[in-house]
Structure 1
Amino acid sequence: MYEKKILFIDDDESQRQMINDIIKRFGYAVKTAADSGEAMQILESEKYSLIIMDLNMPGVDGMALCKRIRKTDSKSVIYALSGHAAEFKPERFEEIGFNGYLFKPVKIKVLKMAIKGAFERAAIRKEEATL
């Protein structure tokens, strides 16, 4: 079941804690993962409407993780998060399976709008699936 839950994946502990606290202040349920392995374990047992992930992580990076997730999950909205996202073309993100991207350091207002937009998109997908 896809609910208004968010999974945030970043290898930087301070970044995870900060984003976790901000999202909770917005009133959403959030879970964090430190790497792709932990994220995949979480995703085996739970579904998330929104997944936000850092692109630059040791081991399996965000690009490869997004591709893995998309093999089994086409409904979640997935956003890339990076201080280097400008180096990538928007079409490349779409080809991989991302629905959008955010720049580090993420501004609170931008994050709030991105989350709201993701849940609106998830609701539309859910409605289309029932038609």
Structure 2
Amino acid sequence: MLRAAWLLPVLSLSFCAKDETVAAYGAGGRTWVLQSIDGLVFHATATLGFPETGLVAGQGPCNGFSGHLDVPYPWFEIQGLAATRRACPELEAEGVFFAALMAMEQAEVAGDVLILRNEAGHEMLFTAAY
């Protein structure tokens, strides 16, 4: 019984964990609009946001999406990406967007700019929408 009483406060601390993701370092509370992938203008519309601790969500050119993000900044790795399944004329652009997003490994926030990149040299540039 005494061991259980000691364990309860320790377990409750894990539920109060501080957000260490990119959201806590300037990306949270904003909608980020994709401007380019690998330096090429992205002509369709795609957004990214961090609605609450540990979550990422947004809108691809056709479908809304969400997933989990729990790696500490500056790392970036979306787990469990789920998207709606609506078809639209920009479906090819959406495939490019999701493939690039899932390949990203690091994030950098500089004011109204969010850059996602990976070790292979690929990069996504987002700007904050107001």
* Same fold at TM > 0.5: no
- Larger RCO: Structure 1 or Structure 2 (Cα < 8 Å, ≥ 6 residues apart)? 2
TM range (shorter): under 0.3
Structure number with higher strand proportion: 2
Provide the TM-score with structure 2 as the length reference.
0.27
Structure number with higher helix proportion: 1
Provide the TM-score with structure 1 as the length reference.
0.27
